Amino acid sequence: MKDWKNHLKEMPFFEGLTNDELEPVLTMSRIRQLKDKEVLFWEGEPKTHIYVLGEGTILISKLTETGEESLINVLGEGEIFPHSGFFGSSVYPGTATAKKNVTVLAIPVDSFEKLIESNPEIAIRIIQVMNKKIFYLQKKLNEILSLNVESRLKGALAHLQDTQGDVIRLTHQEMGNIIGSTRETVSRQLKKWEKQDLVEVKKDRVILKEDFESLG
């Protein structure tokens, strides 16, 4: 069983809080386990909980104007989400789907708001983390608009490496969705890097080798 108290203390949101200060968070929350491709919440549903990802990977997607699903983010262990609209009455901005087996801590929004009111230092941390997320999303948008496919894929894998480590458990199609390209284009680029001994390509994952970080 996961030690959620220590897990929370390692997160920027809750870093520095004592066990007694974290106890209300755990008391108000419940653990949810999801299987591969199980949906945690749907885009447009009323937001009732925020989640801490304890184990596994969560894919965040949105529907385009044409009704197609677009993968916009990949969340790794230790992240808290959704990244927008933490407080007040709102809806989930995207659909969250489990990648393989996933464990999350579900924190009810109403109870969490009351906790924030009594611990304003947590609110400051949330603002700081949100600033980092906004910066990442702006950077990602600039990459999609201005960089070639190779640069966009390199940037996406570097970000995923920060959250997932050296083993990126995504299909080529999912990577293509992230960078606004096709599965075939991603596959060709990965094969090129594999020949250069920068990555190792498997059916459902990509292993980043030590020299990948030096890729220009």
What's the rounded mean pLDDT across residues 31-37?
95
| CB neighbour class for 137 (10 Å; exposed up to 12, middle 13-18, buried from 19) | middle
Global confidence as pTM: 0.73
The CATH architecture of the domain made up of 4-122 is Sandwich (2.60)
pLDDT (tens digit per residue) in 36-77? 999 999 999 999 999 999 999 999 998 877 777 788 888 888
**CATH classification code of 147-214:** 1.10.10.10
Using the predicted structure, report yes or no on whether residue 201 has a pLDDT greater than 90.
yes
Q: Which of 118-132, 137-151, 155-169 has the least mean pLDDT? A: 137-151
Residue 156: partners with Cβ closer than 8 Å, 6 or more residues away: 140, 175, 178, 179
What are the extents of the domains in the chain? 4-122, 147-214
pLDDT (tens digit per residue) in 85-132? 666 668 998 999 999 899 999 999 988 888 888 777 777 776 777 677
pLDDT given at position 141:
63
CA distances 131 to 72, 128, 138, 187, 197, Å, are 18, 5, 11, 33, 36
